[in-house]
Amino acid sequence: MTGFSNKPRILRGAFVEYGLSLPPLFVVFQFNPVQLTRNRSLSFAAPGGSRSGRSALRDFHKRFDDLTELRDAQQVTVQSETIGLEIRLDASDKLNDGDTISEQFGIGPQLATLELMVQPKEEGLLGQALGALLGSSGGFSFTRRPNPPLLLFIWGRKRVLPVNISTLNITELLYSPDLNPMRATATVSMTVIEGKSLPYMYSKAMTEVMSVLNLANVADIANVMIPG
């Protein structure tokens, strides 16, 4: 036995298709992304005013000397959160382990799955064939997917977010002699589907719990000067 017995287990991020369909889609990250970019934009407006009229909003703000009244009077539109990351794929480790699929196709299967995550299932030839073979029961069809698959972005135990992939950019970096991709990066941008779904509500609850835990640092406010 090598290594340390108390070495923490490193969880891997993943994309997993939500719901039953054929073929099922999932990609477990071979290497966790080095960083995530998260963005949420907000737009403010005076009541009844144009949200793009910055001068009007500025004039509206000048009418208030009480910030509490201003907070309650101004209007805000909160956009959905977007997340960006880069996935790195490399066939080297599996080739060293003698994996036959990697020897024949490199990282082609992983790249193909990422591509199918942004395409309607009804356009898939394999899904159509399986649907025709299995048929439907009670009006339910495995392949009735007019839109791209709905995905869960799983990032540890606290974030299980339903998302739509908005952009997918794949850069193939290395090939085998028969031109199978052996190394690549995939840059993914996604929009979080906010609502009352169980995965999103779970992740939102975890965010609120983390905020409550931040109260352990409440003593730090003593080092901040706040005008009276």
Which phi and psi (to 5°) does residue 189 adopt?
-115, 135
- The per-residue pLDDT for 138 is 47
CB 187 within 8 A of CB 203: no
Type of residue at 43: S
Average pLDDT, the chain: 87
- The per-residue pLDDT for 54 is 73
With cut-offs at 50, 70 and 90, classify the pLDDT of residue 5: low
Average pLDDT over residues 54-81: 91
- The per-residue pLDDT for 68 is 94
CB 81 within 8 A of CB 38: yes
Helix (H) or strand (E) holding 143: none
With cut-offs at 50, 70 and 90, classify the pLDDT of residue 50: low
Average pLDDT over residues 30-44: 95
CB 158 within 8 A of CB 210: yes
In the predicted structure, residue 45 carries a pLDDT above the cut 80? yes
> Residues near 227 by Cβ (< 8 Å), separated by ≥ 6?
none
**97-142 tens-digit pLDDT:** 999 999 999 999 999 999 999 998 776 666 666 566 655 544 445 5
When mean pLDDT is compared across 26-30, 89-93, 221-225, the lowest value belongs to 221-225
| pTM of the complete model | 0.83
CB 181 within 8 A of CB 187: no
DSSP-assigned beta bridge partners for residue 87:
186
- The per-residue pLDDT for 146 is 73
DSSP-assigned beta bridge partners for residue 14:
28, 154
Helix (H) or strand (E) holding 203: helix 198-213
In the predicted structure, residue 19 carries a pLDDT above the cut 90? no
Type of residue at 155: W
In the predicted structure, residue 166 carries a pLDDT above the cut 70? yes
